[in-house]
Structure 1
Amino acid sequence: MAQISEEVLGDERATLLKFVEAQRVAIREALDGVSAEQAASRPSASELSLSGLVKHVSEAEHNWLRLAQQRPNERFTGPESWADGFRLVEGETIESVLAFWDGVRAELEEFVASAGSLDETFPLPPAPWFPENGKVSVRWLLLHLVEEFARHAGHADVIRESIDGRKAMG
């Protein structure tokens, strides 16, 4: 959970990054003490697994970062591999995905710190779910990541509780 602290009091940029990080931590903590097999299991009615969720959120953060930077996503291999974004594939491990996510985290924080303003915008790609010629701000990006990660932290809680009964809060 995001902690209230003197260092972010009144600093919107730092506060938003703190909330993003709190949700990252919640997802990562769901992996504590589980085996690779347990992390890949799908013990609930959902098709989601803990390892798949971690991969998905790391890829989602990376994709949004590349959109904000207005750079191509070098990891995007096309819509046909969409399902692979929710499971580890050959050569991937939980550790490698977490290391990738650590790099994305550092790059995002550097990008946000270098933005002149949270009001700076970047264009959304053409897609049926985005408005034509749509733009969003760096602030919107951070709030979207909080929303995305919080949703998946809840999924991770349910999956973890289904694996071994461990609850995130108690």
Structure 2
Amino acid sequence: MVTHVRAEAAGDERGALLAFIEEQRGGIRRSVLGLTEEQAAARPSASELTLGGLLKHVAEVEQSWIARAKGEPPAVARDESNWHECFTLVDGESVESQLAYGEKVAAETEAYVRSVPSLDDTFPLPDQPWFPPEGRVSVRWVCLHLIREIGRHAGHADIIRESLDGKTAFELVALERGETWG
């Protein structure tokens, strides 16, 4: 769903990229507005995805990409034995804890993107089939990839939320602003 990004998006490239990433994060965050933990864990469609799981997944993915760009390991190691856990809230995790984690990750992403000398700076990727075959990507590429990745899952969240209680993305924007829709 299109919402208006910060005015900064009309300025410098870093600001524009960060504003569009934040816009997509907003779609994920809004998808859980007013829901109980049980609703956030529900699977109302043919998919195994849940809103709580999507909230967790997008924060973990964002954190892992920024960690790679910094030359650090991701905070949470995922492999074929536990990759599915990034889509499910497990013991001790809640919507509230994932929203807080997402805020922390967003702040780290913004600080990193603003601190690099150039968006053209590159970093190596592991030699795994799900990473781009070139073996290196730029900070700009990571920002664009995050927009794509988070936006894709924001669309999933729209469908799941509408399946749960009929609320659409437009209604959730209004709810977030304390307004009524329609």
TM-score by length of 1: 0.94
In structure 2, what is the Cα distance between the partners aligned to 1:169 and 1:113?
31
In structure 1, what is the Cα distance between the partners aligned to 2:139 and 2:128?
20
Contact persistence 1:2–1:18 (CA under 8 A) = no
Q: Which runs of 5+ in 1 are unaligned?
A: none
- Secondary structure of 2:49's match? coil
Report the identity percentage: 52
1:166 maps to what in 2?
Answer: 167
| Structure 1 residues 141-164: Cα deviation after superposition (integer angstroms, max 9, x where no partner) | 000000001100000000000000
Amino acid at match of 2:120: D
In structure 1, what is the Cα distance between the partners aligned to 2:114 and 2:37?
35
In structure 2, what is the Cα distance between the partners aligned to 1:138 and 1:74?
19
1:142 maps to what in 2?
Answer: 143
RMSD: 1.5
1:26 maps to what in 2?
Answer: 27
State how 1:51-70 maps to structure 2 within 5 Å: 51-70=52-71
2:113 maps to what in 1?
Answer: 112
| 1:75/1:17 CA distance change after superposition, 3 Å | same
- Count matched residues: 170
Contact persistence 2:9–2:17 (CA under 8 A) = no
1:97 maps to what in 2?
Answer: 98
1:3 Cα deviation from its structure 2 partner: 2.5
State how 1:10-89 maps to structure 2 within 5 Å: 10-76=11-77, 78-89=79-90
| 1:75/1:157 CA distance change after superposition, 3 Å | same
| Structure 1 residues 97-150: Cα deviation after superposition (integer angstroms, max 9, x where no partner) | 111111111111100010111111111111023355611111100000000011
2:131 maps to what in 1?
Answer: 130
In structure 1, what is the Cα distance between the partners aligned to 2:22 and 2:134?
30
Amino acid at match of 1:29: R
In structure 2, what is the Cα distance between the partners aligned to 1:4 and 1:60?
22
Q: Which runs of 5+ in 2 are unaligned?
A: 172-182
User: Is 1:157 aligned to 2:161, yes or no?
Assistant: no
Contact persistence 1:121–1:135 (CA under 8 A) = yes
- Would you identify which runs of 4 or more consecutive aligned residues in structure 1 move more than 4 Å? none
1:81 Cα deviation from its structure 2 partner: 1.1
TM-score by length of 2: 0.88
1:79 Cα deviation from its structure 2 partner: 2.9
In structure 2, what is the Cα distance between the partners aligned to 1:114 and 1:144?
19
| 1:6/1:77 CA distance change after superposition, 3 Å | closer
In structure 1, what is the Cα distance between the partners aligned to 2:96 and 2:10?
34
In structure 1, what is the Cα distance between the partners aligned to 2:46 and 2:93?
25
